[in-house]
């Protein structure tokens, strides 16, 4: 692991690091915020997965999460959204290729060689950060925005033993029924739609749910509502009688101005659930 930068922030340290990823076959960059409490022992962890076109840097610099994390004594981890670099396949469209990993393990050419983001987030990056930092592996939460909200929900419902809390901000909630999902799943996973089901939060809600309360925020003025399809996930949660808090917040769109507006609630909500 290489240190790219470290800066004091709200009494803690905001670091950016890189490492050679075996899963993604390239150099991967990620960020970790350690609150001041980490100087005295292991602290709980909140994973934040970013959305389309983002890197580790977007939420790190725009969400304002460090202030609340420092107060609550919780670490933040900001992974990248895809493999990158020379030799890594890409596409001219913003919603496929680099910046658009969709948190799946690709099985189709040319993506399969590098686009192993499910394994990277689930296995490789946790093994690295828990060996390097003062983090409590038994107290992990996960959240994310848009494509990252999709990743957070699908990972938490697939591995509830690893994530004791889960929330999402404007998640892609039903990707098998959306152009933000069908296009990418067909490219990464192939035409057999049965292989897509494991990466659709609405289907996972119908089939298994989550052993805890889920928090989801959605802006009512989101310009991508028809692609996100929150109503499908809400209906599945209601049918399952899943403990579920869904907030449609009037007037907010899909931007990081909105993310920053609700970030305090999400950090504090996870901190409370991870105590």
Kindly list the catalytic residues.
146, 222, 254
Contact call for residues 48 and 77 (beta carbons, < 8 A):
yes
SS3 for 79? Answer: coil
Give the single-character DSSP code of 42.
Answer: -
CA 155 to chain centre: 9
CA dihedral 173, 174, 180, 183 (to 10 degrees): 150
- Beta bridge mates, 165: 141
Cis peptide before 115 (omega within 30 of 0): no
Q: Parallel, antiparallel, or unpaired: how do β-strands 2-9 and 12-21 relate?
A: antiparallel
Name, in order, each residue with C-beta under 8 angstroms of 77's C-beta and a sequence gap of 6 or more.
Answer: 30, 31, 32, 33, 45, 46, 47, 48, 125, 129
């Amino acid at each position: 692991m290489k240190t790219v930068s470290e800066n004091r922030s709200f009494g803690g340290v905001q670091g950016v690091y890189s490492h050679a990823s075996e899963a993604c076959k390239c150099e991967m960059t990620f960020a970790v915020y350690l609150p001041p409490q980490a100087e005295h022992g292991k602290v709980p962890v909140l994973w934040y997965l970013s959305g389309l076109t983002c890197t580790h840097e977007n939420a790190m610099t725009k969400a304002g999460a460090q202030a609340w994390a420092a107060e609550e004594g919780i670490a933040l981890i900001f992974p990248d959204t895809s493999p990158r670099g020379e030799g890594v396949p890409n596409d001219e469209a913003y919603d496929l290729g680099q910046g658009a990993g969709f948190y799946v393990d690709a099985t189709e050419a040319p993506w399969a060689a590098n686009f192993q983001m499910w394994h990277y987030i689930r296995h490789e990056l946790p093994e690295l950060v828990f060996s390097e930092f003062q983090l409590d592996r038994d107290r992990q939460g996960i959240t994310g925005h848009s494509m990252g909200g999709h990743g957070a929900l699908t990972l938490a419902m697939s591995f509830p033993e690893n994530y004791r809390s889960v929330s999402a901000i404007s998640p892609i909630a039903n990707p098998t029924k959306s152009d933000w999902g069908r296009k990418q799943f067909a490219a990464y996973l192939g035409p057999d739609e049965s292989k897509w089901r494991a990466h659709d939060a609405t289907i996972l809600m119908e089939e298994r749910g989550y052993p805890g309360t889920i928090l989801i925020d959605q802006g009512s003025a989101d310009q991508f509502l028809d692609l996100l399809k929150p109503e499908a996930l809400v209906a599945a949660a209601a049918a399952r009688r899943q403990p579920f808090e869904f907030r449609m917040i009037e007037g907010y769109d899909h931007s990081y101005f909105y993310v920053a507006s609700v970030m305090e609630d999400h950090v504090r909500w996870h901190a409370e659930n991870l105590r």
